[in-house]
Structure 1
Amino acid sequence: MSLTVGEVLKLPGLEGLIVRAGHLHLQRTVRWPYVAENEGIAEWVMGGELVFVTGVNHARDEANLLSVIEDGIAMGIAGLVILTGGTFIQRIPQTVIERAEHHGLPLIEQPYLLKMVIVTHAIGTALVHMAQARRTRHDILSQLLTGDYPSLAIAQQRAEHVQLPIDGPRRLVAMRLSSVSVLFERHPPTEAERLLQHTRQACQDHLEAWSRIRSETLPVILQGDLFIMLLPDQETLRADLQGLYRELTTLIGDMTLYMGMANRVENCGHYRQALNEARQALDVAESLHPASGFCDFSELGVLFLLQGIGDRSVIDHFVTQTLGPLIEPSRKQPFTLLETLDALLQENGNALRAANRLAIHRNTINQRIQRIEQQSGQSLDDPLFRMNASVALLVWRMTEVPSKEST
């Protein structure tokens, strides 16, 4: 639980605040309010601040306000509030509004008659209440994740008291930023550390905003270098996580991000087990570098063995040798035979059930089976080929960008 820019605007007494830009980004987390008394703000903020500029101590002309916008974007502030009216800033220049909108920075106008002490007091009080509730929620979840709680019944009672929905089936997802060494190789230590913390904060903010719009949300937990999410088990979860991964890759620059997902757990008493499973899946993802950045614990099996192969080219050669002849780059759908082979293996070789899975006619799948055997030079009745193909398909699904028609 955290205070967002949008929630600030809804606080009692702050109805006079008006959003001028960044309407689609009001989910940004506000760490604290900061009144900027210097000409620039880059040296005085660390990210997450709701920055107020008044024009009292420095002339805030168009050029200065544009510079403040650029500083705020670079430093990752939550939003910018400009006081207008009185004898200082009469209005917000249109260029400033357009610049903030272009960068997705919430820009808010505060009439000068709305006293600053009222605004900062309301935000400060809300932040204190939010922080207390946040600490309680994180404490409960951290205890459940480590198994370090006095009793499960007490943990459930505490969760109910703070309206923390821990009952019901969930999937635990653990994420970690990788290739951190790249930052320290390319930048001086101080700058590398600043970039690392800024990126971690950007990821946390994005994860919290992403989880907030989902039903039955739970807070994102930080444990060491892990981001941990406990998500409702839904049919679209895997596709949703792939979309989330693509969004996060735009935030992490030269670093990489990997995810590991645990098996479904039915209640909060199994969160500790789920975290252990997600860690194992995450370790495999970091070893095999899937294009989706994602590994599901339920799919591990032989991947544990593949993880032990030090030379990744050996794995790639095996996949290419096994599946390469079935890829048809000249066709509109080059992976049709791979998807058909995958469906056949999923249905234990039953062509009729595989045809139903693919929503195609039985004659069509029989034709595809003939093409698979002709182009691979193997028989689907050969158990060794089926085993090799199953392993190769598992690696292929992880390391290749799936086609739009992929099953």
Structure 2
Amino acid sequence: MSLALDELLGLPGLEEMTVRAGARNLQRRVRWPYVAENEGIAEWVMGGELVFVTGINHPRGEANLLSLVEDGDAVGIAGMVILTGGTFIQHIPAAVVERAEQLGLPLIEQPYALKMVVVTHLIGTALVQMGQVRRSRDDILGQLLTGDYPSLAIARQRAAHLQLALDEPRRVVALRLSAVDGLFERHRPEQAERLWQNTRQALEEQLEAWCRTVAGAVMAQLPGDLFVLLLPDAPDLRPALAALYRQLAEVTGEMALFMGLSCLAEDCAHYRQALGEARQALEVAQNMRPATGLCDFSELGVLRLLQGIADRSLIDNFVAQTLGPLIEAGRKHPYALVHTLDVLLKENGNGAQAAQRLGVHRNTIIQRIQRIEQLSGQSLDDSLFRMNASVALLIWRMSESQGKE
């Protein structure tokens, strides 16, 4: 279990600790404190530690401190605390602060007057307490999401005790990293494992930091490396999730991340169904690879049937045959006819309404309809063509091709 650096620095009794660099990464999770006794730390840490540098057992000049910062960043420590004053390290050299800031490594100054035993006791106690709370939260959330609880009344009581407001309407988001197999195929097992664990840790840190900025957001991690978000419904939820996806994409490295969004669950009694919907949407996202990384269960429709097609090339060929002739690569707006067809179908073939929606003259719509029928060899009056086009457009809207316009 872990706590974010900014949470630890907010503990009563640690007010004298000062952030000197890397403030943008204070959401990093601290798994445990580690006091550096040797010249270097690379061989003695695994990632996620808050490393304390005292200078008591080894001289800590500028060169050594710079080396520690480099090593710490390379192995993925949460942050570094340097004790200053007294006999050993008088101050943190400017070059060390500058390098830590460049790397984004949180660098914290602790005066020697603030006793190490007090600091480590406060941090250790907070980590243990938070660990207990996190285990309880994940336990009750896991029970509600899977439906595996002895009593819904008791589950609600436990949730209330843990200050989880779960009887409000929520939507469930299921997130999972993809292309893990390729990671282990490209790298040696030990290197792949480290990349995998570091990516998962970074993803967890980013999700928890994001949830702290969204009122009512709750995160849980289920077996099978599935991250779950419980979010209040809001008009801007989709744009917010799209922005989250872009943010998370910066830490996923060689892997990809996809998300599935459920319909609205009125209360915690419906979480199991909502998770099932989110997981189905996640599977579609992994297969269709939408540009936003997100699929909404409420919008899947026929895509749920297409999930049964094992050969993705069949789907791609269907879209290419249906919409490909309408993509005019040599024109300024190569997708104009595709967009026009999409709007026409949404307006049930009403040219006047389609023109108004697209902001063009009705004569332009008439010309485009003629062009669509000429290039496709089909008539918009043909119900089979309209059905095929609707399905192809649904797939196309979710595909990466939209991001390449």
Question: Is the TM-score greater than 0.5?
Answer: yes
What 5-or-longer segments of structure 2 have no aligned partner?
none
Alignment of 1:248-397 (within 5 A): 248-355=248-355, 357-358=357-358, 365-397=365-397
Change (3 A) 1:403 1:188: closer
Q: Could you tell me which amino acid in structure 1 is paired with residue 308 of structure 2?
A: G
Give the CA RMSD over aligned residues: 2.4
1:131 maps to amino acid: G
Cα distance between partner residues in 2 of 1:358 and 1:138: 48
1:193-251 Cα offsets, whole Å, 9 max, x none, are: 22222221111111111222111111232322211111222222223223322332332
Q: Tell which deviates more after alignment, 201-210 or 248-257.
A: 248-257
Aligned CA distance change for structure 1 residues 157 and 54 (closer, same or farther; 3 Å):
same
Aligned to 1:159: 159
Aligned residues: 405
Deviation at 1:140, TM superposition (A): 1.6
Per the alignment, residue 75 of structure 2 pairs with 75
Equivalent pair of 2:217/2:229 in contact (CA under 8 Å): no
Partner Cα distance (2:167, 2:332) in 1: 46
SS of 1:262's equivalent in the other structure is: strand
| SS of corresponding position for 1:185 | helix
Partner-residue secondary structure (3-state), 1:80:
strand
Residue matched to 2:174: 174
State the distance in 1 between where 2:269 and 2:391 align: 33
Per-residue CA deviation, residues 59-102 of structure 1 (Å, 9 max, x unaligned), is: 22222222221222222221111111112112112221122112
Once residues 205 and 84 of structure 1 are traced to their aligned partners in structure 2, the CA distance between those partners, rounded to angstroms, is 29
| TM-score between the two structures when normalised by the length of structure 2 | 0.91
Please state whether the residue corresponding to 1:301 is helix, strand or coil: coil
Output one character per residue of 1:303-352: Cα deviation in whole Å (capped at 9) or x when no partner. 24433334333322221221123323344443333233223323333445
Q: Where does residue 28 of structure 2 map in the other structure?
A: 28
Q: Do the aligned partners of residues 165 and 338 (structure 1) sit closer, same or farther apart at CA in structure 2, a change above 3 Å counting? A: farther
Shift of 1:367: 4.9
Match for residue 234 of structure 1?
234
- Residue 155 of structure 1 deviates from its aligned partner by 2.0
Greater mean deviation of Cα atoms: 388-397 or 327-336:
327-336
Could you state the TM-score of these two structures normalised by the residue count of structure 1? 0.91
Question: How far apart, in 2, do the equivalents of 1:351 and 1:156 lie?
Answer: 53
- Relative to 1, partners in 2 of residues 1:357 and 1:229: Cα closer, same or farther, differing over 3 Å? farther
What residue is the counterpart of 1:224 in the other structure? Answer: 224
Provide closer, same or farther for how the CA distance between residues 80 and 359 of structure 1 changes in structure 2, counting only shifts above 3 A: farther
Structure 1 pair 380–168 and aligned structure 2 pair: CA distance change class (3 A): farther
Q: Percent of aligned positions with the same letter in both sequences?
A: 69
Q: Secondary structure at the match of 2:315?
A: helix
Q: 2:204 aligns to what SS in structure 1? A: helix
Asked if 2 retains the 8 angstrom alpha-carbon contact of 1:165 and 1:218, the reply is: no
Q: What is the SS of the residue equivalent to 1:263?
A: strand
In structure 2, the partner of 1:97 is: 97
Q: Is the 8 A contact 2:2 2:32 kept in 1?
A: no
**Following the alignment from structure 2 to structure 1, what is the Cα–Cα distance between the partners of residues 367 and 8?**
62
Counterpart-to-counterpart distance in 1, 2:133 and 2:310: 46
Which residue number corresponds to residue 15 of structure 1? 15
